[in-house]
Chain A
Amino acid sequence: MHENVLPFPRRLTPRRQAVGPNAVVGMLIFVVTELMLFAGFMSAFTITRAAYSTWPPIGQPRLPVGATMFNTVALLASGALLVFANRAFTRKPETVRTLLGASLGLGLFFVAFQGYEWAQLLSEGLTLTSSNHGAFFYLIVGTHALHAVAAILALARAYLLLVRGSLTKHTFLATSIFWFFVVGVWPMVYLRVYL
């Protein structure tokens, strides 16, 4: 063999490396787009609300601020438990199931309680077509509820995978990012829409 022949095969260009796990990068991009969706809703709500001298408009039911504050605390606690679950995934795996289960439970409580509040408001006359107040309330809070339900389904899937022992760190992190987004957006929705 000739002495100057290079060993074969030889890569001429360096191998490209991903910025991060595909699931995490994809979920972050999705979260950014949904963040813009909520930003548009909040901006439109702010402009519409500023055109009224009194808000909520006269004759419209008042929103349950106190009960929703309790629900907000439950949602924030769910987010905190999921943070602990993520940390425990590599350090203390035996505690992840309990933490994830508790976070999922609190998330389910939040959605159920929101549904109960909606039923109360509908019976009091606040509907999607009753006023701008009702329209924006159900639009913004309803969109958040849709995201919450989807995130709960993702968390439930992660829990099932964890029980089977096939949950990977990246899948768990991507699912958690979605729930953190739902938890993080809600206080802004509460402060702007309810207060």
Chain B
Amino acid sequence: MLALVALCLPSVVRACPMCFTGNNEDAFLYGSLFLMIVPVSAIGGLLYWAYRRIKASEAASALPEEPPPAVTGRPAALRAVEPR
């Protein structure tokens, strides 16, 4: 809708004192680049921090390998409560 207005009434759109005074084309470019880089860097850094935390947590919780239990036909949890 706004684009349609801009096409039909160019003189109204070009009255904006911020955009069409002085030579600030480079500022638009640098500002756009800045606004692209900042969120990518910030969110990427946050995700990388989360990834490192997950990896560290997985490494800390990794259990050492245990020898296979003896084949007795009973689950290990029940073997400890053998009836006397």
A binding-site residues for B, Cβ under 8 Å: 1, 3-7, 17, 19-20, 25, 28-29, 32, 35-36, 39-40, 42-44, 46-53
Contact = CB atoms under 8 A, between A and B. Distances in A.
Interface of B: 18, 21-24, 26-28, 30-32, 34-35, 38-39, 42-43, 46, 49-50, 53-54, 57, 61, 73-75, 77-78
Given A47-B18, A47-B27, A50-B27, A7 B77 contact: yes
B75 A6 contact: yes
The 8 closest A-B pairs by CB, nearest first: A50-B27, A51-B22, A50-B24, A43-B31, A7-B77, A39-B38, A51-B24, A47-B27
Q: Is the interface of B mostly helix, strand, loop or mixed?
A: helix
23 contacts: A1-B78, A5-B78, A6-B75, A7-B77, A17-B57, A17-B61, A19-B54, A28-B46, A29-B46, A32-B42, A32-B43, A35-B38, A35-B42, A39-B35, A39-B38, A43-B32, A43-B35, A47-B24, A47-B31, A48-B18, A49-B27, A50-B23, A50-B27
